[in-house]
Amino acid sequence: MKKRIALIFIIATIAVGMGCGPKIIIPEFNTAKEQYEFAKMQKDNSLLARKDRREERYTQAILAFKKVIEKFPEDKQYCSVSLISIGECYYWIDKFSKSAETYEEALKLYSNLNDIRPFALYGVALSYDHLKEYEKAQYYYKTLLDAYEKDQRNEVQDVLKKAKAKYSKVKVK
């Protein structure tokens, strides 16, 4: 299955690279997991893109993640992580307002999903920090720290460590 997704990804990447324009070929898969894995490959590939192509690649990844949400709206697991990934993509192309908006949408739609909530809180805090909206950034950092201080998951502990460092440096008038 992963080989099939990787092959389709390679074909799509070659088609885009051969001058077929900035459009991406987003194949339709039968499961949310497959659709998400394709989108994730697009995002991961964006990290490797030349600097002058990075924004285009992240935009392609955003479209691929939106396809997950569009095609499998009932799948909360993959829709929620797709929305978080869209927020990350916007963040990496310096579209901090869109990033914050996307993370807030994830918090609103999936507030009961403990798997994504800490990452959404951290993402929205970081986005507001970059926008110099320090009071909002501080609010989200504090909300994250208060809500998840006892969470023992390694990935959450990593986020908490970063949030603590950022929280102490946020400038509030």
pLDDT in tens, 106-153: 999 998 888 899 999 999 999 999 999 999 999 999 999 999 999 999
Name the token pair of 106: 């994830």
Task: Report the distance separating Cα 87 and Cα 91, nearest Å.
Answer: 6
Q: How far is Cα of residue 69 from the mean position of the Cα atoms in its chain? A: 13
Of 24-28, 83-87, 122-126, minimum mean pLDDT range:
24-28
Of residues 130 and 14, more confidence is placed in: 130
Reported pTM:
0.85
Backbone torsion region of residue 128, taken as left when φ is above 0, otherwise alpha when ψ lies between -120 and 50, otherwise beta: alpha
